[in-house]
Amino acid sequence: MATANVTKIDYYEVLSVSRDASDQELKTAYRKLAMQYHPDRNPDNPAAEDKFKECSEAYQVLSDAEKRAAYDRYGHAAFQGGGPAAGGNPFAGGGFGGAQDLGDIFGDLFGEMFNMGGQKKASRVQRGRDLRYDMTLGFEEAVFGKEQEITIRRMETCDDCKGTGAPSGKAPITCTQCGGRGQVRFQQGFFSVARTCSVCNGTGTLVVDPCKTCRGETRVQKEHTILVKVPAGVEQDTRIRYSGEGETGKFGGPAGDLYVVLNVKAHKFFERDGDDLHCVLPISFPQAALGTELEIETLEGAATIKIPEGTQNGKEFKLRGKGVPHLNSHGKGDLIVEIRVSTPGKLTKVQRELLKQLGETMTVENTPTSRGLFEKVKDIFS
């Protein structure tokens, strides 16, 4: 009886790719054909099932570097009995039950030791990204605290597909490349090693008809409003963390966090040093010499400061409790007022005569004196 001579179609033609196609091009072509001819989408269609098996066989060979090299050199003969790719194992046909059996034994042993040969699927669960929001505050708002609603844009679970990536009522199909295991075994010498399936990325499933709303991404971008509570006493670049207010995770993964980063505007009068406030108060020479009481503005209203007679330029006075509230604690810093004796630039004739008379009654020995090591160092770094 005569045997029919069946000629197999070239694997590159089956996938409709060129012979120098990259791994990604092969993968893309195969996924397109697999979705087109999958039996679940073509029930009771033997022709489609044959095409599906044909493209799966072609991809299984061309996606493996060693098998592809053998196929490029010998064609389909590389995988027939006695071919270069089929007869290279010295244990084949021996008393060990065949190369595949021995490979499975070693593969399972090394899989337990090094997690190389296990059948565990790669988890699809992914944590959502953390988000940052830059918020600008006035000086007083940072000192006394503030509540403000902000609106952010973040990725959230698609309402139409409920985060599956597939339309309602259509669950993802089992990956045909790995059979839903998430891993593909290949032979390396007499060891059987498992690697993550390149078609489903280790998930074991494929989305045949992607959700039209999220295009299979399982999430869509939405606006979200949140109330930010800024506590009293925050400083420039303070970060406020809101757990779980970042982007929604994929496939049931936890959400990321939201970080609100504060930018505090400068004050026209006060400078901040930790929880203390500093300011400069100009006074006249008579006020410094004779002493006086002055009213000065603080962040909480007016306060009185007493300048004793003979106050020198640069003298500092401390108003306790008039500074910034301690963050997440009780008490406040201080307000430190530096006296700056102001010398008039222009004098009237009367003022000049009066100062001249005063000068004749006062004598100062104009002899240079050492400022001391401390003052010199202070000047160097000021």
- What is the residue-wise DSSP string for 271-284? EEETTEEEEEEEEE
Distance, CA of 16 to CA of 111 (rounded, Å): 36
Mapped onto helix, strand or coil, the DSSP state of residue 63 is coil
Closest by CA to 161, choosing from 206, 224, 202, 207, is 207
Residue 148 — φ and ψ, nearest 5°? -150, 135
Element at 69 (helix H, strand E): helix 65-74
Beta bridge partners of 341: 283
Mapped onto helix, strand or coil, the DSSP state of residue 319 is strand
Distance, CA of 224 to CA of 202 (rounded, Å): 33
Q: What is the CATH number of domain 131-167+212-264?
A: 2.60.260.20
Distance, CA of 210 to CA of 215 (rounded, Å): 5
Overall pTM surpassing 0.85 (yes/no)? no
158 labelled ligand-binding: yes
- Residue 341, token pair as written in the block: 């004796």
55 labelled ligand-binding: no
Report DSSP state, residue 176: T
Fold of 9-83: Helix Hairpins (1.10.287)
Q: Is the distance from CB of 212 to CB of 137 less than 8 angstroms?
A: no
CATH architecture for the domain at 271-364: Sandwich (2.60)
Q: Is 317 left (phi over 0), alpha (psi -120 to 50) or beta?
A: beta
CA 330, distance to chain mean position in Å, is: 35
Distance, CA of 353 to CA of 362 (rounded, Å): 15
Residue 75 — φ and ψ, nearest 5°? 70, -155
Q: Do domains 9-83 and 131-167+212-264 have the same CATH topology?
A: no
pLDDT of residue 369: 64
Going from N- to C-terminal start, the domains of the chain cover 9-83, 131-167+212-264, 271-364
pLDDT of residue 117: 41
Contacts of 310 (CB under 8 A, 6+ apart): 288, 289, 291
Closest by CA to 57, choosing from 74, 34, 77, is 34
pLDDT of residue 374: 59
Distance, CA of 311 to CA of 350 (rounded, Å): 25
Report DSSP state, residue 368: -
Sequential pLDDT tens for the chain (382 residues)? 444 444 578 889 889 999 888 888 888 888 888 888 887 778 788 888 888 888 888 888 898 888 888 888 878 777 765 455 544 433 333 333 333 333 333 343 344 344 444 445 556 678 999 999 999 999 999 999 999 999 999 999 998 888 888 887 677 888 888 888 888 877 665 566 778 888 887 778 888 788 889 888 889 999 999 999 999 999 999 999 999 999 999 877 899 999 999 999 999 999 999 999 999 999 998 999 999 999 999 999 999 999 999 999 999 999 999 999 999 889 999 999 999 999 888 889 998 888 888 888 877 666 676 666 556 556 655 5
214 labelled ligand-binding: yes
CA angle 96, 98, 101 (to 5 degrees): 85
pLDDT of residue 131: 95
pLDDT of residue 2: 40
Mapped onto helix, strand or coil, the DSSP state of residue 340 is strand
Q: Is the distance from CB of 99 to CB of 109 less than 8 angstroms?
A: no
Distance, CA of 157 to CA of 250 (rounded, Å): 8
